Amino acid sequence: MLGFLQGFSYGLFLTCLPWLLVGLINPRLAVPIEPPGRLQVILRYCLVVPFISLLLWLTSLWGGFGPTLAGWLAGLVAIPVALPLERRLRRFLERRRVRRFRERLAAEAARRRAEEEREAHEAGLMVLDPARPPAEADDLVLALCRAKQALLDVHRPDLAVQADRLYSRYRHLLGVLEGRFDRGELAFARARELVSQVGLGAVDTLHSMASQASGVVNVDGDFVRRRLSREDRRLGTQEREALRRRLELLEETERRLRELAARNEAALTVLDDTAVSLARIETSRPQASVTAERALAELSRFVSRAERYGRSGS
């Protein structure tokens, strides 16, 4: 066994120079790291692999046996055999990291969604369930359900709550319209059409937000910030620039999402203004034949006469 290790160390050490030259020409062939770089090639084949071969050689000296042919051959093929195995291992670890990251995102999104739905119920906000739209849902409500589902799919329940707010304003405004106009009136149809157009414009904005958020759904901003905040010497210039660019993309996307959210806030304000204006319209005929002040005066005189009638009867 010690002779095998000694031969293995010799064969491994001899392959360092050829693989170093190959890696300097094409780093992707010599290192399994993504993205590959010549600095990783130099570190691997000038420091790491020679150190491993030296350690194996020193260990094999205790036995006093000479190197074996099997050890030589195993050392010569060790690197070409280890490279694809290491690539598979790194890919497996990366897939597991991404899967755990997505599961963490999904759990966090579910927690935030449950918290926001609870707050919405406490605040009297109508919450849409994309899987079960309301029975009286029209085209606008169905479009809001689809837009909310698109935002939930990209793990942004904080933005999906805007669909619930739009739905609440829409239902409230329809209630105000039905209280001021008959369904067959032209004014009711015209007002509802305009409200639907405003709502559909907000739905388009929600879909734009979902499209923007989908581009960075797999970017872990906290992880990137932690990597950049640490003074890690092993972090190469190329990787650092890539992380900075990734963070810039995330911040740019968040800025764009805030702009789109502000556009929807303007639409909500328009719906609120419309509801307030319609609530001030008096379209029903007065039920009382006299004014409230005159009725109050007549009631006071009646009470005074009733009191006199009671004293005279006694």
DSSP 45: I
For the segment 272-305, what is each residue's pLDDT rounded down to a tens digit? Answer: 888 888 777 755 545 555 456 676 676 667 666 6
Tokens of 57: 């050689």
Model pLDDT, residue 303: 60
Distance (Å, whole) CA 300 – CA 283: 31
pLDDT band, very low/low/confident/very high, at 308 (cuts 50, 70, 90): low
HSE of 135, CA atoms in CB hemisphere, 13 A: 0
For the segment 8-43, what is each residue's pLDDT rounded down to a tens digit? Answer: 887 888 888 888 888 888 888 888 887 788 888 888
Q: What is the C-alpha radius of gyration for the chain, rounded to an integer number of angstroms?
A: 37
| Residue 90 one-letter amino acid | R
**How many angstroms separate the Cα of 269 from the Cα of each of 79, 246, 281?**
66, 35, 19
Give first-to-last CA distance, the chain, whole Å: 129
Distance (Å, whole) CA 19 – CA 17: 5
pLDDT exceeds cutoff 70 at 267: yes
pLDDT band, very low/low/confident/very high, at 110 (cuts 50, 70, 90): confident
pTM higher than 0.85:
no
Count of helices and strands (H, E) across the chain: 12, 0
Distance (Å, whole) CA 13 – CA 85: 20
CA 78 to centroid of chain Cα atoms: 44
For residues 52-77, average pLDDT: 77
For the segment 223-262, what is each residue's pLDDT rounded down to a tens digit? Answer: 767 766 665 555 667 777 777 787 788 888 888 988 988 9
Distance (Å, whole) CA 17 – CA 114: 59
Distance (Å, whole) CA 183 – CA 171: 15
For the segment 124-163, what is each residue's pLDDT rounded down to a tens digit? Answer: 567 777 888 887 778 888 888 899 889 888 888 888 888 8
% of the chain surpassing 90 pLDDT? 0
Model pLDDT, residue 18: 87
pLDDT band, very low/low/confident/very high, at 310 (cuts 50, 70, 90): low
Domain extent listing, the chain: 2-97, 125-279
pLDDT band, very low/low/confident/very high, at 311 (cuts 50, 70, 90): low
Distance (Å, whole) CA 312 – CA 314: 5
For residues 67-83, average pLDDT: 83
